[in-house]
Structures are given as C-alpha cells and as structure tokens.
Amino acid sequence: MAKDITESCVLVSYLTDFPFPFQMALLSALRQIAGVTAGPLSDALKTELYTLVLGTISLPINLPGTSYYQGFQARKKLVSILEQMIAERRSSGDAHDDMLDALLRSGDDGTREKISDEQIIDLLIALIYSGYETMSTTSMMAVKYLSEHPRALEELRREHLDIRKGKSPDEAISYDDVKSMTFTRAAIFETLRLATVVNGLLRKTIKDVEMNGYVIPKGWRIYVYTREINYDPFMYPDPMTFNPWRWLEKNMESHPHFMLFGGGGRMCPGKE
C-alpha cells in the first residue's frame, strides 16, 4: 500500500510539472486523433486533460475544490472545446487525414449507423486520455530503468543501430523493422511489468465461476490486481530486478498470467 501511495504521489508530481514525456505523448496523440499541433488549442486541451487525469486518481469526493470535482469540470470544458472543433470542421468542409475526420464521415456511405457528436466526443476523450497517459508514463519509466542498467541500454542501442545500418540515411523505419526489435519489445514488457502503469483489470462474471473451492456468483465485479501477479517470484524470478532478457528466454506472452495489456476479449489494442 505504501508503495502504491508513493508511486501515485510521484505521478501527480510529474503531471503537475508537465514533464517532456507527457507533453510529447499528448501532442503526438492530439495530432493523430484530431490534427491538433502545438499552439493555444493544444495548451488548452493539455491543461484540462491533466486536470481530468488528476481527478480520476483522486478520492471520489464531488465537492467544490476537490480534485474529483475539478476533474468533472475539466471534462465539461473538454466537451465544449471538442464541440467547437467539430462545428469548425463541418463549416469549413476541408478534408483532414485524422481520426476525427473519419468519425465525422462514418455512416455517410450507408453501410453503418451514423455516430452522434456525443459519441464522437466521448470516444475522442477516451482515446486521448488512454493513449497519452499510459504511453508517456511507460516512456518515462523506460528511460529511468535503462539509465540505471547500462548493459540493457547498450543492447537496445545495438539493436536499433543494426537496423539503421541496413537503410539509406533518408529511409524511414518500417513496421517490419519495429516488429523485428525483439530486445526493444522485451525492454518495454519489462518496464510495464515493473512499473505496472495499469495495476488491475475490472471484469464482471457472466455465470457462476468455481475457483479453488470457492464460487464467484454470476454478476459479481472482479478486480484482478495485476501488480501482485507481475511481482510474483514464482512467475518472475527475482521480480524486483529490471531484466529484459527474461522475455527472450521463453515465450512468456503465451502464459495465462501475462496481463500487461489486459486479457480475454478486451485485450488492449495498444499491445501491437
């Protein structure tokens, strides 16, 4: 519990100070999702998103002045900003190569139901929130762990430089190149295991489930605390040590205890 509180305090400090990993991840997400680049609009979105994040990890006390209350207010402001963006897109008639444009055009061909503006806004907030907060925290922790383990950093650099050697100076990294970065993938998995950015999974039983002599009734909410799984020495020997090589020794992704990206039919699309 003390470790959880300490890590939450560290996260709050990073969010409050607007560190570079968070800003970089947020700008990347905003550009791909809604075509927003650095400027007054991104600054306004950033301020409200950070307030929203702080609200979601605070005690659920909905009184003026609390982080929880401010989180609700921030979401209302985000909705207002996105409503204005949608109105401007429609009035301009210009085509944009981003997710917002695709959502606005959904249903135009008659093959599927038209998505309402409320649904679009809800989806955009969810995508921006989940896309930048988890990625930026993981990036920040990866830098921390690699800086503390020079051998792992050197191995990662060697893998990237070897790929770069086979390309011309102006040739971009391809998807196949990314998929071939086995040690990089291992370093990411080990970072996620140790940092446990999302420390649990919430599920609902659709039927009675018997486990170790106990019956979990249908309709119960189940919270799987993945941090305990990630630190289990039986599954991960010497669990508190940053050791990316453990992911190269055997296909640990196929194990039932691999839950770094969720599990079942609701696996996180960010896994790939």
- The residue among 15 and 118 whose pLDDT is bigger is 118
Strand pairing category for 201-204 and 221-224: antiparallel
DSSP designation for 114: P
- pLDDT over threshold 60, residue 11: no
Q: Output b/e per residue, 70-101; b: 16+ Cβ within 10 A.
A: bbeebbebbbebbeebbeebeeeeeeeebbbe
- The residue among 139 and 271 whose pLDDT is bigger is 139
* Tens-place pLDDT, residues 96-131: 888 888 888 887 776 677 888 899 999 888 888 877
Q: Which of 237, 239, 238 is nearest to 195 (CA)?
A: 239
**Residue 9 marked as a ligand binder:** no
The residue with tokens 């998505």 is: 115
Q: What is the mean pLDDT of the chain?
A: 84
pLDDT band at residue 4 under the 50/70/90 scheme: very low
Instruction: Output the CA torsion sign for 84, 77, 266, 31.
Output: positive
* Tens-place pLDDT, residues 228-240: 999 999 999 999 9
- pLDDT over threshold 70, residue 20: no
Token pair listed for 1? 């519990």
Instruction: Say how many CA atoms lie within 13 Å of 139 toward its Cβ.
Output: 15
- Mean pLDDT, rounded, for 216-227: 91
Q: For residue 115, what pLDDT is reported? A: 86
Instruction: Output the CA torsion sign for 24, 135, 28, 126.
Output: negative
Token pair listed for 144? 């921390």
Q: Which of 209, 233, 207, 223 is nearest to 262 (CA)?
A: 223
Q: For residue 89, what pLDDT is reported? A: 87
For the chain, what percent of residues have pLDDT higher than 90? 39
CATH architecture, range 1-148: Orthogonal Bundle (1.10)
Residues paired with 260 in a beta bridge: 262
Q: For residue 67, what pLDDT is reported? A: 93
pTM of the model: 0.72
19/132 Cα distance (integer angstroms): 13
Q: Which residue intervals of the chain bear CATH 1.10.630.10?
A: 1-148
132/108 Cα distance (integer angstroms): 30
